[in-house]
């Protein structure tokens, strides 16, 4: 998924309650962090405002462009704390290590095969300082999650355009993947200005699967939460939030 056309609308739909969680962790762990799949800088800029130096890596030039434009509007003290880089979370070499690496907003799920998940974990491990922390969150499938779903959301932009986003998801438990079709319709005064479709496929990862992979790749799992308020993860939790350490 390149986010080629949808990057400009990502923040419009992206209100999440994870920023305080990742910020607290970053302040505990030190003065720098690496965010993989930094996107529009939603989390990275919040960390930078708290005084953390962040390198944000992403493989989408479209998301990085939005992040860059947002950064330009920030104060110099914030701007100097964020470095954006284009790269693939499965194969990058930054030549430095970090006390904290984070992958917020279910971005690790973009690794839709076990091989890609192993590659990402191996790169993360290589870039973590001794005893460094790696934290990320995954979409969790609960017994109530339907095999397919369709939902529609609408938002108003600052330019008074109406953006209607429809998402169709379909799970395949044989391949442990979920396909995502995103349709965007943009209107101004009832007139259709733009219509586009984007497609992606993400992994469905169970707690057993991820804890086994993490252990094989040299991580110790410190906590598995069911939300960003640190409730214990349960089978019914819609999210899995993992905090790990380099072994």
Ligand X SMILES: C[S@@+](CC[C@H](N)C(=O)[O-])C[C@H]1O[C@@H](n2cnc3c(N)ncnc32)[C@H](O)[C@@H]1O
Binding stretches for ligand X (CB under 6 A): 3, 14, 37-39, 42-43, 57-60, 63, 88-90, 104-105, 107, 110
Of 161 and 198, nearer to ligand X (C-beta) is: 198
Count helices and strands in the chain by DSSP H and E runs: 7, 11
Give the angle subtended at the CA of 216 by the CAs of 214 and 217, to the nearest 5°. Answer: 65
Q: How far is the CB of 163 from ligand X (least distance, A)?
A: 17
- The tokens describing 188, both together, are 């101004």
Of 16 and 245, nearer to ligand X (C-beta) is: 16
| Residue recorded with tokens 């930054």 | 94
CB atoms within 10 A of CB 110: 20
Of 126 and 220, nearer to ligand X (C-beta) is: 126
What DSSP element (H or E) covers 217? none
Of 110 and 125, nearer to ligand X (C-beta) is: 110
Of 141 and 203, nearer to ligand X (C-beta) is: 203
CA-CA distances (angstroms) from residue 76 to 26, 39, 45, 48, 242? 21, 20, 12, 11, 33
Q: How far is the CB of 126 from ligand X (least distance, A)?
A: 15
Q: How far is the CB of 200 from ligand X (least distance, A)?
A: 9
**Beta strand pairing call for 162-172 and 148-156:** antiparallel
| Chain residue at closest Cβ approach to ligand X | 39
Q: How far is the CB of 229 from ligand X (least distance, A)?
A: 18
Q: Are 198 and 9 in contact (CB under 8 A)?
A: no
Q: How far is the CB of 207 from ligand X (least distance, A)?
A: 21
């Amino acid at each position: 998924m390149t986010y080629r056309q949808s990057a400009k609308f990502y923040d419009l739909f992206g209100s999440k309650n994870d920023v305080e969680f990742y910020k607290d962790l970053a302040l505990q762990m030190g003065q720098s962090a690496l965010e993989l799949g930094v996107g529009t800088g939603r989390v990275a800029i919040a960390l930078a405002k708290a005084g953390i130096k962040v390198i944000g890596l992403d493989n989408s030039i479209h998301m990085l462009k939005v992040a860059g434009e947002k950064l330009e509007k920030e104060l110099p003290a914030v701007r100097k704390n964020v470095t954006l880089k284009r790269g693939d979370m499965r194969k990058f070499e930054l030549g430095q290590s970090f006390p904290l690496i984070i992958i917020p907003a279910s971005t690790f799920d973009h690794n839709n095969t076990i091989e890609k998940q192993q590659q990402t974990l191996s790169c993360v491990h290589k870039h973590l300082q001794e005893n460094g922390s790696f934290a990320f969150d995954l979409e969790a499938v609960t017994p109530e999650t339907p095999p397919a779903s369709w939902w529609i959301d609408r938002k108003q932009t600052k330019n008074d355009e109406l953006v209607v986003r429809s998402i169709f998801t379909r799970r395949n438990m044989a391949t442990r993947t979920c396909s995502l079709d995103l349709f965007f319709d943009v209107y101004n005064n009832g007139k259709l200005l733009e219509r586009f479709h984007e497609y992606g496929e993400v992994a469905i990862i169970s707690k057993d699967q991820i804890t086994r992979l993490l252990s094989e790749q040299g991580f110790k799992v410190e906590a598995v939460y069911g939300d960003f308020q640190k409730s214990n993860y349960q089978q019914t939790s819609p999210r899995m939030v993992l905090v790990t350490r380099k072994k």
